[in-house]
Amino acid sequence: MFVVVVYDTLAERNPRILKTCRRYLHWVQRSVFQGELSAAQHRSFTEEVKQVIDLSYDSVLIYRTQTPHLVQTESIGQEFMDGGPVL
């Protein structure tokens, strides 16, 4: 499956969530990641995220689709990519 992950965490937890996301996905914008995950990778990723964030304060959104070709993305301004695929 193709996922887009967006997070909003307390600044002190940002490095940990950033590191977790980078292990699984491509960094496309400051708190936005995207990439292909298998069902097993998705389960592992979500479990790791739950261990890193404060569930009572932080927020992580995971958008899932079967293929990146079903997602329409419009970019305005400077693009921030780490070499991953562009939607």
pLDDT tens per residue across span 51-78: 999 999 999 999 999 888 888 777 777 7
Per-residue pLDDT band for 27 (boundaries 50, 70, 90) equals very high
What single DSSP character describes residue 57?
T
Mean pLDDT of the chain: 88
Task: Report pLDDT for 77.
Answer: 75
**Architecture in CATH for domain 2-67:** 2-Layer Sandwich (3.30)
pTM of the model: 0.81
Task: Report pLDDT for 43.
Answer: 97
- Higher local confidence (pLDDT), 19 or 85: 19
What's the rounded mean pLDDT across residues 22-46? 95
Element (H, E) at 14: helix 14-24
Contact in structure between 42 and 5 (CB atoms under 8 Å): no
